[in-house]
Amino acid sequence: MEGPKKVEMHPAEELLSRFRSKEDLYRYMTLHGMTLIFNRSLAIVNVFLPTMGGTKLSFMRDILSEAKKHLKVNEVNFMQVPNYKELSVKNMYEDAIADPVLSKYLPSPE
């Protein structure tokens, strides 16, 4: 597996103007092999995001502007969770967003 091909420095606003749609930005953040670094500390490739339909453009903008934090795909532990109504995002989101550490990684409720 090859490492990053190129490192480019761009402000977040410039990056947003480079993409034609939410889908283009989503694909770049999750799949692209080139590394872009913003604000000297934020590299946005292989970012773990919810599904494309479940990811709002505002959340991706928050990641780019460093208002929200993100995990890389290799930092996430994937597991099978039993299908219980009590273990749904809808039921647990309010508690998760109230946690000061966890809320930095979750989209803001709108």
Asked whether the beta carbons of 107 and 56 are under 8 A apart, the reply is yes
pLDDT in tens, 58-83: 998 898 888 999 999 889 999 998 89
Assess if residue 110 is contained within a domain. Answer: no
3-state secondary structure (DSSP) of residue 23: helix
Split into its structural domains, the chain has a count of 1
pTM, whole model, 2 decimals? Answer: 0.69
Domain span including residue 34: 7-105
Establish if 92 belongs to a structural domain. Answer: yes
In a domain, 1, yes or no: no
Inside any domain, residue 83:
yes
24 domain residue, yes or no: yes
| pLDDT for residue 86 | 87
Q: Which residue numbers in the chain have pLDDT < 70?
A: 1-16, 32-44
Residue 48 in any domain: the answer is: yes
Q: By CB neighbour count within 10 A (0-12 exposed, 13-18 middle, 19+ buried), where does 83 fall?
A: exposed
